[in-house]
Structure 1
Amino acid sequence: MASAVFILDNKGKPLIARDYKGDIPMSSIDHFLVILQEKAEQEGSAPPVLTHNGVVYLYLQEKDIYLVAISKRDTNTITILQFLQKLSNVFTSYFKNLEEESIRDNFVIIYELLDEMMDYGIPQFTETKILQEYITQESHVLEIQQRPPTAATNVVSWRPDGLFYRKNEVFLDIVESINMLISPNGTVLSGEILGAIKMKVYLSGMPELRLGLNDKAMFEKNGRESKGKAIEMEDVRFHQCVRLNKFEKDRTIMFIPPDGDFDLMTYRLGIQINPLIVCESVVETHRGRMEFMIKAKAQFKQRSTANNVEITVPVPEDADSPKFKCTIGSVSYAPEINSFIWKIKQFQGSKEGLLRAHFGFPSIRDDLPTKRLPISVKFDIPYFTTSGIQVRYLKIVEKSGYQALPWVRYITKNGEYQIRMPEPLQLTNASRLPKI
């Protein structure tokens, strides 16, 4: 695992360092910024994992500081990168603003956190609520604290004992983001679904939860047939509270949850998916002006509605004198990003909208921009998932026997959702675009 953890300023100078294993010289950090800059110059951007002379550098940049872990080869890079992200989250919870000044003002607490969160290079306690029970910003509290909280000595280190709520509730949100690249003629060039199960837990005591999904692998393991659609999830990752041996045995998601907000699970589906919103575009260029015709169509079922739709269409840098007309929503020019933005507050399934835009140029020219950026689309569709994932059951068991209310919501939203634009048509006569 990690041999040492450093906090560096933006010039690569160590502000804080913690050596956990002593198997790598601490002077190795002197090479980090040089390697980072070389990689950035060669490849345009540097990857989060760098190597030099047998030392692996894993880093996370936050504002004007770097969180860096060093290790030897054959280390678990994903675990260390997740630890650095947790470290950033904990620091932000303590100091609000994670920057060089806040680091310099809180040396003592940071060293305490580094000692509690990692032992001999292995991550230990990373839940902010647990750490805040016995590492505080008031030194006199540290002096009178005689023992660590129960959670630090308990098997369930992410949840403290003694929680009590008058109303016991669980909120479960299944959020799916769609990454998609679409050609000008509507063909899907690439697409995937990135999903997350997010929870808000307000439960007393030490409850055990069981979650069942319409998981294809679960039905196959149990030799049963699904009555509805079953999905096959890939790259599944769980919060540390999930009992992995139980999941591997019968695909049941069993866990004692942390208190409050957390991500229970993330997954990916690389299945063939149809575009939810498509934009057909025609671009005409004339001497001294350019015209756009955009037709947007919601290709999901009519009973669903996409909220806060934003269609961003790029234009040449020197375009001016914008004029717009649309059949639905509103349009505004955003010169700071060389685009115009078509906003539709509510876009019902199977509906269409038309937009026509006109731009002038400060001087007459015959050449066209060589770089054509794609149209990008933002949206969120409540009560809808593209994959068809469903919660079959959510059982809550606690020794006191109280009744709890589970709430389940589904939402689909955009990720990197882009539609390529066609080649502009060069015309010398009047526009061929229809009026709207």
Structure 2
Amino acid sequence: MAGAASALFLLDIKGRVLVWRDYRGDVSAVQAERFFTKFIEKEGDPASQDPVVYDNGVTYMFIQHNNVYLMTASRQNCNAASLLLFLHRLVDVFKHYFEELEEESLRDNFVVVVCGLIDVCFSARYLMERDVDSFWTLQYELLDEMMDFGYPQYTEAKILSEFIKTDAYRMEVSQRPPMAVTNAVSWRSEGIRYKKNEVFLDVVESVNILVNSNGQIIRSEVVGALKMRTYLSGMPECKLGLNDRVLLEAQGRSTKGKAIDLDDIKFHQCVRLARFENDRTISFIPPDGSFDLMTYRLSTQAKPLIWVEAQVERHSRSRMEIMVKARSQFKERSTATNVEIELPVPSDAINPNVRTSMGSASYAPENDALMWKIKSFPGGKEYMLRAEFTLPSITDEEAAPERKAPIRVKFEIPYFTVSGIQVRYLKIIEKSGYQALPWVRYITMAGEYELRLM
């Protein structure tokens, strides 16, 4: 099996070990702490470095969340992607229990949950009928019985919470694990019941745009996700159909102007990958509640949905004027909402005088920016902003020139997708034969959306 870890470490911002669990006895906490401390000193901020580092026969894989580093170490030829994914899932589990993962929450909850959760997430065997008389006995049972030699086994927080429960500074483990732990469908428990069976599917696309000072697009991509919330009884079988060009062509259907090419697709573990590879059918038994069914990325050139031009004029050493034009470049039937345009201004600018043809603008000196907010921005419209600032009359001639920050844009466009993806059908089949209501919604939003100034 690929992906075996020798040990798991949780470290603070200085590389000191907060929590660690040894699985194979060939990487010590002292060894990992020395490596990470040297790595920080040598490379600077680890968050900006490669997440996989090989050193002296050991492969270290780490991620950062708030002021905590999560790291695995292995002396084997391991599956780095699998272990990195496990670390991200471990963050989700901790957040489920602690609300947020940070050094303080780890210290406060270490004796309550951390040891048990780490071992449960790496475990293939579960605590069956045990008489647990004390907290420490329970801890050792978890550490000894629930570790499977460093192989990631189970990381579904909702199922974990069914048999590892916390209350103040007390941890409980149910006498029997939930059926989901031993079933093939490990992400869903049996016996779920709802009075009203519903499925909500949100198709969310984020547009990442970077435009240089000459108005040329130097980066353009669309990152999409199919986000689901399922409230279904029993063990339902779901089938989802998209306007996938490969599928439509295989069925002999016309694809002119209606189909898209899906690239870089990643599925939730509930999706039957073999079925998708064979006939492009997305078939799955969904987890209960919220989850991301699928993510995808389109690297095709996307036209900026909201274009912003800015002219900066200095009328004298003590006065500056900014003229901004914002234009929506999508069809009139769509409307962008919650539009926010962040315009950088000099850090020493004061006394702003702002006029807009639509929306409101406010000066945010803590961000050295002017914030222009437009609640509703229909397609094919253009709005203007003009602002005057006072500058200090005396400047330091030896001061280094200020780095010009880019214009940043945020927005949401409901009932619209850049890629043109469409949900053709969403079928729910369950042996009891109940009728379920599927709801589908589309939304496009700004991701990393920046336009550089001259």
TM-score (normalizing by structure 1): 0.91
- Partners in 2 of 1:314 and 1:193 — Cα distance? 25
- Partners in 1 of 2:195 and 2:45 — Cα distance? 58
Tell me the CA shift for residue 74 of structure 1. 4.3
SS in 2 for 1:137: strand
Contact 2:47–2:63, Cα closer than 8 Å, also in 1? no
Deviations 1:204-263 (A, max 9, x none): 000010111111122244444326421112211111101100111111111100000001
Deviations 1:17-41 (A, max 9, x none): 2122334444431233324313543
- Partners in 2 of 1:182 and 1:280 — Cα distance? 11
TM-score (normalizing by structure 2): 0.87
Q: 1:399 maps to what in 2? A: 431
Tell me the CA shift for residue 415 of structure 1. 0.6
Matched, 1:292 2:322: yes
Q: 2:413 maps to what in 1? A: 381
SS in 1 for 2:340: strand
- Partners in 1 of 2:304 and 2:100 — Cα distance? 40
Contact 2:165–2:171, Cα closer than 8 Å, also in 1? no
Gaps of 5+ in 2: 123-147
Gaps of 5+ in 1: 423-436
Tell me the CA shift for residue 191 of structure 1. 0.2
- Partners in 2 of 1:339 and 1:146 — Cα distance? 58
Tell me the CA shift for residue 8 of structure 1. 2.2
Choose which of 263, 275, 291 in structure 2 pairs with 1:234: 263
- Partners in 1 of 2:224 and 2:166 — Cα distance? 37
- Judged with a 3 Å threshold, the aligned counterparts in structure 2 of structure 1 residues 165 and 217 are, in CA distance, closer, same or farther, namely same
Tell me the CA shift for residue 111 of structure 1. 2.0
Tell me the CA shift for residue 421 of structure 1. 1.6
Matched, 1:266 2:295: yes
Q: 2:175 maps to what in 1? A: 146
Choose which of 185, 194, 210 in structure 1 pairs with 2:239: 210
Deviations 1:350-375 (A, max 9, x none): 01101111111111569794522211
- Between the aligned residues of both structures, percent identity stands at 55
Matched, 1:28 2:18: no
- Judged with a 3 Å threshold, the aligned counterparts in structure 2 of structure 1 residues 314 and 40 are, in CA distance, closer, same or farther, namely farther
Contact 1:5–1:70, Cα closer than 8 Å, also in 2? yes
Aligned residues: 420
Contact 1:178–1:414, Cα closer than 8 Å, also in 2? yes
Contact 2:39–2:46, Cα closer than 8 Å, also in 1? no
Q: 1:341 maps to what in 2? A: 371
- Partners in 2 of 1:336 and 1:281 — Cα distance? 21
Tell me the CA shift for residue 43 of structure 1. 8.9
- Judged with a 3 Å threshold, the aligned counterparts in structure 2 of structure 1 residues 102 and 365 are, in CA distance, closer, same or farther, namely closer
- Bigger mean CA deviation after superposition, 44-53 or 412-421: 44-53
Paired amino acid for 1:384:
F
Runs of 4+ in 1 over 6 A off after TM superposition: none
Q: 1:428 maps to what in 2? A: none
Tell me the CA shift for residue 187 of structure 1. 3.0
Paired amino acid for 1:259:
D
Deviations 1:77-128 (A, max 9, x none): 2221221121112112222343334323333532222222113222211111
Deviations 1:120-157 (A, max 9, x none): 22221111111011112266843xx3321111110000
Tell me the CA shift for residue 414 of structure 1. 0.3
Contact 1:184–1:281, Cα closer than 8 Å, also in 2? no
Contact 2:417–2:444, Cα closer than 8 Å, also in 1? yes
Paired amino acid for 2:387:
A
Tell me the CA shift for residue 341 of structure 1. 0.9
Choose which of 161, 170, 173 in structure 1 pairs with 2:190: 161
- Judged with a 3 Å threshold, the aligned counterparts in structure 2 of structure 1 residues 282 and 100 are, in CA distance, closer, same or farther, namely closer
Choose which of 106, 112, 116 in structure 2 pairs with 1:112: 116
Paired amino acid for 1:270:
S
Q: 1:279 maps to what in 2? A: 308
- Partners in 2 of 1:85 and 1:121 — Cα distance? 16
- Bigger mean CA deviation after superposition, 381-390 or 34-43: 34-43
- Partners in 2 of 1:116 and 1:217 — Cα distance? 40
Contact 1:316–1:369, Cα closer than 8 Å, also in 2? no
Q: 2:383 maps to what in 1? A: 353
- Judged with a 3 Å threshold, the aligned counterparts in structure 2 of structure 1 residues 167 and 243 are, in CA distance, closer, same or farther, namely same
Paired amino acid for 1:62:
H
Choose which of 273, 286, 305 in structure 2 pairs with 1:257: 286
Matched, 1:410 2:442: yes
- Judged with a 3 Å threshold, the aligned counterparts in structure 2 of structure 1 residues 221 and 23 are, in CA distance, closer, same or farther, namely farther
- Partners in 1 of 2:270 and 2:256 — Cα distance? 30
Paired amino acid for 1:158:
W
Deviations 1:54-76 (A, max 9, x none): 32222223333322111246432
Choose which of 135, 146, 156 in structure 2 pairs with 1:127: 156
Q: 1:311 maps to what in 2? A: 341
Contact 1:35–1:50, Cα closer than 8 Å, also in 2? no
Paired amino acid for 2:15:
G
- Judged with a 3 Å threshold, the aligned counterparts in structure 2 of structure 1 residues 320 and 102 are, in CA distance, closer, same or farther, namely closer
Deviations 1:154-213 (A, max 9, x none): 000000000000000000000000000123454322100000110000000000101111
Tell me the CA shift for residue 381 of structure 1. 0.4
- Bigger mean CA deviation after superposition, 185-194 or 248-257: 185-194
